Structure formats: C-alpha cells, structure tokens
Copies of this chain bind each other. A is one copy, B any other.
Amino acid sequence: MGKSGVLHRYLSVGEVAKRSGLAVSAIHFYERKGLIASIRTDGNQRRFPRGILRRVAIIKVAQRTGIPLAEIGNALSGLPNNRAPTTQDWEKLSSRWRDDLDARIEQLTLLRDQLGKCIGCGCLSISDCPLRNPSDELATDGPGARLLELDDPQDHEPLDGTS
C-alpha cells in the first residue's frame, strides 16, 4: 500500500516499532537514554538507519539476560550509532553477556539445589542451613548486610511452631 516496493533507507519510528516489536514509547525512551539515535526530517520526524533493527535486537537480547539498560547502553556506546555492529563487535558483547548469564545461572542453580536439600528437612534452622547464610552475600551486600546473628537457643526449637 503505497510504500510497497520502496526500499527506503531510513525507517520512521512507527516502522521500527512494527518491525522490532517495541512500542513507540519505548523507542523514544531508548533514544532519550542514549541507546539509539536518529536523524530528523525537515518536519522534525525521526528517521532511523536500517542498522537500528540489529541494534534493537541486541538490546532486547541483553535485556533478556537481565542486564540493565544503562549497562547495555554503556556496552553499546563503543559501537558507532549509525552502523550495524560488526561481527567482532557482536562477538565481544555477546561473549561478555554470556559470562554474566553464566554467573547468574550458577547462582540460581546453587540456590535451587539448596532449596532442594532443605525441602522437608525442617531446616531453615539457623546456623546449619545454607539458605540462611549464603557465604557469597556476606561481602557484597548493602549496609545492612552482616552475619545473621541467630544463635540464641530459642531459635533452635523445632519447627512445630507452637510458641
């Protein structure tokens, strides 16, 4: 309808939205945040270079791995804005993000295994339970983080709950 057959170099925001699956508002948002960039027409409408689709695809993949937008933008900031990333670019980004993913998966797997062990063990019982004092949280957590001080005798009573 009208546009068919036209191989236009630049995409309007609506076209990017349709083709990327993002909402127009999200595209605006990403642009405000500096993750993507556009040029303007005489009438002040955005025009995106074709490479935007690949760039957006990368953003979406990274988001799925749990990386915050700011960090994605940071990683992406090495790439020229109006050019699709090269294979090398992508290789570098994706292998780094895969490492992040690996780490997160490992953490969750550890948690799951502990959860598995603790199911039905009547556990959560203070000093023994790995779930209650995961060693990896001690160093990195916020101001409230410290060893759980749960060694009082009254904390060790059975889990029947009758106080």
- When the two chains form their complex, are residues A50 and B84 in contact, meaning their CB atoms are under 8 A apart? no
- When the two chains form their complex, are residues A144 and B86 in contact, meaning their CB atoms are under 8 A apart? no
A34 adjacent to chain B (CB < 8 Å): no
**What does the 1/0 interface line of A106-142 toward B look like (CB < 8 Å)?**
0011011001101110111000000110100000011
- When the two chains form their complex, are residues A101 and B91 in contact, meaning their CB atoms are under 8 A apart? no
User: With A61-B131, A91-B119, A108-B101 known to touch, is A86 a contact of B49 (CB < 8 Å)?
Assistant: no
- When the two chains form their complex, are residues B115 and A83 in contact, meaning their CB atoms are under 8 A apart? no
A161 adjacent to chain B (CB < 8 Å): yes
* Other 16 A-B pairs with CB < 8 A, given A61-B131, A61-B132, A94-B115: A22-B144, A49-B163, A53-B155, A57-B131, A57-B148, A58-B124, A61-B124, A80-B161, A83-B161, A87-B120, A90-B119, A90-B122, A90-B159, A91-B119, A101-B108, A105-B108
Which residues of A are at the interface with B, using a C-beta cutoff of 8 A?
Answer: 7, 9, 17-23, 26, 49-51, 53-54, 57-58, 61, 64-66, 80, 82-87, 90-91, 94-95, 97-98, 101-102, 104-105, 108-109, 111-112, 115-116, 118-120, 122-124, 131-132, 134, 141-150, 152-155, 159-163
